[in-house]
Amino acid sequence: MEVIQSNKLHDYLSNNMAGMVAFLRRIVEAESPSSVPDSQATILTILLEALQELDFDVRLIAGRKTGGHLLAKRKSQTGQGGSQLLLGHCDTVWPLGTIKEMAFSIDDNVIRGPGIFDMKGGVTQMIFALKAIRELDLEMRLEPIVFINSDEEIGSVESRPHIHQLAREVERVFVLEPALGQSGKLKTARKGVGRFEINVAGRAAHAGLEPEKGISAILELSYLIQTLNDMNDIERGISVNVGTIEGGTRPNVVAPNSRAVVDVRVPFMSDAKQIETAIRRLQPVTPGITLDIKGGINRPPLERTTANRKIWHLAKNLAEAFGLGLEEAIAGGGSDGNITSQYTATLDGLGSVGDGAHATHEFIFADKMIERSTLLAMLLLAPSVN
């Protein structure tokens, strides 16, 4: 039965490849940097109309400082009581005008364009997986819910409460982030991500006339940086990176202040708690210095929980039914899947296969769009594995 379904889906998607590419072009050329909230209106409207054509009730949730988000549920619900979430984002890291230099292009099997890999290709595959299911009159056991946010690339600050709520309500989540590597590995684990800001306050003094009266915040920061560096444990997958520093006022003034921003990556929640506690307990070495430490772990790790292992094995078995071999991997970067995994079964990396996230060579493989759309459709059609 699965083989027959997968063949029908694959054939439908192959026959509609031109439409898929045309839709992809529309949303790639609808530039949508996170930093320009108004830029999200066009792509959200395109997605709204596409989902309405698929018989979804679609609501646009206005943002306060972002471009807002899209939430869609089917009008005629025929599932067996439970629901499943399709989770993605429409914002990119690319500034407006990038399309002039990184124009949408197709070269044999390679399609290029800003944001195409991360993650407009995945959003396109989602639309066409849902379209294939509808056109072939196939029945999903769990009702699909679609949530697309416009602030994932800047931490999902405004959309986070919606994601928390949805994750509590559904049986499983399929995250449309790109696959890992050109072999298309699914992301069955992701490191947790933290960001800390450390502000150091000292005392200014003339560096020539009375340097002994000063307390250098820059000198203190140099000690702190070494302490933070010692927290790295590469073998355990823990990284603590002081990414930016600043401080002082003038060369002839003992620095009264300094600041560091620290990026933290951890594979397990136990590591997250340990590192967060260690950073918050940092103490000054120099008498007279005060520290102000802000931030924390903002995306918990996506771990290989029992529920997550079940949904991974489901995907692997379904893929094998139509001759697609799947591999899994851990990703160093975080996604909104890190959030949903705290509540329900989550499978990440179901989007495009390609390379160049946030890089000028960003691209996807055209033929893999059909494979991955077929896989996503099969997952949506699968019964609950809980």
Per-domain residue ranges for the chain?
Answer: 2-190+301-381, 192-299
Residue by residue, DSSP assigns 277-308 as HHHHT---SSTT-EEEEEEEEEE--B---HHH
Q: Are 2-190+301-381 and 192-299 equal in CATH topology?
A: no
What pLDDT score does 2 carry? 73
Closest residue by Cα to residue 284 from 253, 248, 258: 258
What pLDDT score does 79 carry? 57
Q: Is 360 helix (H, G, I), strand (E, B) or coil?
A: coil
Distance in angstroms (rounded) separating the CA atoms of residues 238 and 78: 45
Closest residue by Cα to residue 152 from 120, 197, 183: 120
Distance in angstroms (rounded) separating the CA atoms of residues 359 and 362: 6
Q: Are 311 and 347 in contact (CB under 8 A)?
A: yes
Residue by residue, DSSP assigns 59-110 as EEE--SSS--EEEEEESS--SSS-EEEEEEE--BSPPTTHHHHS--EEETTE
Q: Are 176 and 122 in contact (CB under 8 A)?
A: yes
What is the architecture, at CATH level 2, of domain 192-299?
A: 2-Layer Sandwich (3.30)
Q: What is the reported pTM?
A: 0.91
Q: In the chain, which residues have pLDDT < 70?
A: 1, 78-80
Closest residue by Cα to residue 368 from 353, 378, 356: 353
Cis peptide leading into residue 119 (ω within 30°) = yes
The type of residue at 282 is L
Distance in angstroms (rounded) separating the CA atoms of residues 343 and 336: 12
Closest residue by Cα to residue 378 from 59, 130, 86, 64: 130
CATH number of this structure's domain 2-190+301-381: 3.40.630.10
What pLDDT score does 77 carry? 74
H helical segments located in the chain: 2-15, 17-29, 40-53, 98-101, 121-135, 160-169, 217-229, 269-280, 306-321, 337-340, 366-381
Distance in angstroms (rounded) separating the CA atoms of residues 363 and 350: 16
Q: Is 176 helix (H, G, I), strand (E, B) or coil?
A: coil
Q: Are 351 and 120 in contact (CB under 8 A)?
A: no
Residue-wise pLDDT for 55-110, tens only, equals 999 999 999 999 999 999 998 876 567 999 999 999 999 999 999 999 999 999 99
Residue 314 burial (CB count, 10 A): 19
What pLDDT score does 39 carry? 98
The type of residue at 135 is E
Distance in angstroms (rounded) separating the CA atoms of residues 139 and 7: 16
